[in-house]
Structure 1
Amino acid sequence: MIPFGVIYADFKRLWGGALVLIILIACAIAFSMVVNLQERALREGSARAADRFDLVIGAAGSETQLVLSTVFLQPSLLPLLDGKVLSELQHNPLVEWAAPLAFGDSYMGMPVIGTDDHLIADRLSTSDKVFQSDHDAIVGGASGLAIGDKIIPIHGQIGAEGAHQHNEASYTVTKVLPLSHDAWDKAILVPIKSVWDLHHVVHKEGDTHDEQFGAISAIIVKPKSIAGAYQLRTQYRGGESQAVFPGEVLVRLYGTLGDARQILSWVATGTQFLVVVAILMVVVIHLEQRKRQLGALRAFGAPQRGVISLVWCGLMLIMTIGMALGVLIGYLATLWISANITTRYGMALPVEIKQQDLLMIAIMWGVLAVILLVPALLTYRYSPAQALRG
């Protein structure tokens, strides 16, 4: 039978040492939890955001920047793509639809993106015309805007060099899109023709295959088939254009992220090793303070097994409290970090403690249980005679 009354009395009398042990364990576990949970949340959140985009085509340049700008709407000066590429894609038999994107303007810190009906119609699963006029604006569910609100865009970002308001332009919100839990929830979508007009981009439209369009930042392509997607990527990869599968680019980013995670994991492992050393030092000091008590228990006939169990159970209770507290702190810290990333970038990050996380905690608990047997076994060397003389 575990003497919880004695253990509680020891905690109350030696609360300082117990508190130090709990804090050390909690910090080590919390650090490991944040590294694991946050890295997985970033992977899953970014993968979900990229699922909406089958193929992205842009001007030759950085594939990573193209994906960050189109999928995650990170402000960047992308090289412009000739509008003839859009015309070719819209008449390509491999393409279900191709939607242009024109970046550069913003409103209240949110990107104003020029596009056409295809992208929004696909999102809403409708074939109806989306933009009724060149002054319509369709906004994301997290934009804070409502139907009827007026929008006067700013060229660039507020505070950036060269930023200025387009006083000659005005849009009216006509629709609010449902939440998709990604960066596009704060996007403001407007007819690309109005963006071309606003920036004095020369363009013309017609019914022939020779129609031309103004320069664009990128094109979102919905292929008719998987095979068609690979053919399109091959066709537009090289020369003045590049075609990428966002998922493939993210895999490479995950590789970099994985390297960073590995480094952090090594740091976490080193931290845990140092914490174990510190714990053993504190345990030794803690047990030295209890030398007289443990010696007295032996003098009054307490069996060897009972004394060892008393010490080991007390230490394991401290470890268990520290680990549980560490899991809670790590989980809450990851939620806080993810919420800040979501607020800043609009990308929802799923934070979830999974079976492998619990298995890792269980293994650490088992390792500590074995390690703490050592100081518990050493307590039997305390002399009953010395305890009685004290």
Structure 2
Amino acid sequence: MIRFIIADLRKYWIGSAVVVLIVALAVALGVAVTLQERALRLGSARAADKFDLVIGAAGSENQLVLSSVFLQASPLPLMDGAVLAKLAADPRVAWAAPIGFGDSFEGYPIVGTTTVLVANLADGLAEGKVFTQEGEAVIGANVDLALGDEIKPMHGTMEEGGQTHTELAYHVSGRLKPTGTAWDRAILVPIQAVWHIHGMGHEEHEHKNEAGKAPEADHDEHQHHGESHADAPLDEHWDADVPGLPAILVKPKTIADAYKLRQEYRADATVAVFPGEVLTRLYATLGDAKRVLFAVAAGSQVLVAASLLLVTVMHVGQRRRQIGALRAFGAPRHALFAIVWLELFALVLVGIALGFALGYAAARAISNLVSEGSGVSMPVGFSGEDMTFLIVLTLFAALISALPAILAYRQSPAAALRA
């Protein structure tokens, strides 16, 4: 029986290949949609796990998370810098790291921050050391630079017609270990350097002069008016005169502290969010899109099943003489049923297997493209849900394959030979 089926498939190999391809493409669409949606959900959740609480100026919570956690370029309103000083002195806060953005270098975002964030963002440095001066920078794991390379920050991006800053050039002092987040493609620099080259912080300088304190050195005057010196030491002690900030990443000491801080800073001037909660709302939107895409995939599979039935019924009709001859030579009905059923079932099974492989390859390719652009690692893999889908497809294939086999089983040999 097996030799007969193999010989029959070889004889009608073009039609067999078409059946396999149709099934594979239909299955691949559903598999790719499922795997890619799951990869996006898991990748973004892992990226958000690095940050417990984000505080920013009152505005869009979604944009605050996308800009501060996923480093998606978008202007954010600035909140009063005194918020940072208050958080730094709060006993409920393990650490609070300000971030400032707006500059870039060769497509990589430059993020102004502090040494405390560098120390807590990844599991240490892969090489080099944390920045200790204004002219030093720590790069993410996926930034294509080497230690000692020069970085000339550009305000905005080249596509937006950005202009290169001439006040300061950073030099790479260290590289972070991989985090699987957008920060793997970021360049981290001292936030005070970002303030200085953008002309921020001069209010603090003038305030100190009015209080009767002379500037420490002549170059300090230039720092507060848009000039910075690469060898200037870092000062990460915050007071009420800190310049405005787009966001502050906060690590509360306990879960209870996290909820209290979020409630306290959800005020008229500020907003505090858990990135995970914001992502949950975004997942709901993605879930709606997934259902639509999966409905399209299911619809295509129904059409494929209908076309397969039509093709196989026509195929059985064209082979009535062959089936009649087999019956005339003594082939039992159950043997004919088994031949027709096994032949079609084998083709559909091959198509399903090929569809899973194609769907997985498509999801991996899409995830790689997304990861290259965003830096967020997108894990693609099968789960128990996919195995359930495979079992259901296999049972459905067995049922579909049985219908033309029943036609062959019921066919009269005398009528078939007269056809």
TM-score, normalised to structure 2, is: 0.88
Q: How many residues align?
A: 385
Aligned residue runs from structure 1 range 34-183, under 5 A: 34-123=32-121, 130-161=130-161, 163-183=162-182
Q: Which letter maps to 2:139?
A: V
Can you give the 5+ residue segments of structure 2 that lack an aligned partner in the other structure? Answer: 209-235
1:258 maps to what in 2?
A: 287
The percentage of counterpart residues that share the same residue type is 48
Q: CA deviation at 1:81?
A: 1.7
Q: CA deviation at 1:159?
A: 1.5
Give the distance between the partners of 1:43 and 1:388, measured in 2 at CA. 60
Cα gap change, 1:211 to 1:361, in 2 (>3 Å):
same
Tell me the SS of whatever aligns to 1:372.
helix
Give the distance between the partners of 2:54 and 2:174, measured in 1 at CA. 25
Tell me the SS of whatever aligns to 2:56.
strand
Can you give the 5+ residue segments of structure 1 that lack an aligned partner in the other structure? Answer: none
Tell me the SS of whatever aligns to 1:175.
strand
Give the distance between the partners of 2:326 and 2:408, measured in 1 at CA. 11
Contact 1:202 1:214 in 2 (8 A): yes
Q: Structure 1 residue aligned with 2:264, among 223, 232, 235?
A: 235
- Structure 1 stretches (4+) deviating beyond 6 angstroms? 205-209
Give the distance between the partners of 1:283 and 1:309, measured in 2 at CA. 15
Give the distance between the partners of 1:141 and 1:77, measured in 2 at CA. 25
Tell me the SS of whatever aligns to 2:178.
coil
What's the CA shift string for 1:180-237, capped at 9, x where partnerless? 1111001101111111110001253899985421111210001111111111111111
Q: Which stretch shows the higher mean deviation, 10-19 or 32-41?
A: 10-19
Contact 1:138 1:173 in 2 (8 A): yes
What's the CA shift string for 1:59-90, capped at 9, x where partnerless? 11111111111111111111112211111111
Tell me the SS of whatever aligns to 2:260.
helix
What's the CA shift string for 1:134-179, capped at 9, x where partnerless? 1110000100111100000000011204x11102210010001111
Aligned residue runs from structure 1 range 290-329, under 5 A: 290-329=319-358
TM-score, normalised to structure 1, is: 0.95
Cα gap change, 1:209 to 1:74, in 2 (>3 Å):
closer
Give the distance between the partners of 2:237 and 2:388, measured in 1 at CA. 63
Q: Structure 2 residue aligned with 1:5, among 3, 6, 22?
A: 3
RMSD of aligned C-alpha atoms?
1.8
Cα gap change, 1:133 to 1:217, in 2 (>3 Å):
same
Aligned residue runs from structure 1 range 209-248, under 5 A: 210-248=239-277
Q: CA deviation at 1:288?
A: 2.1
Q: Structure 1 residue aligned with 2:23, among 19, 22, 25?
A: 25
What's the CA shift string for 1:326-346, capped at 9, x where partnerless? 011011111101011101111
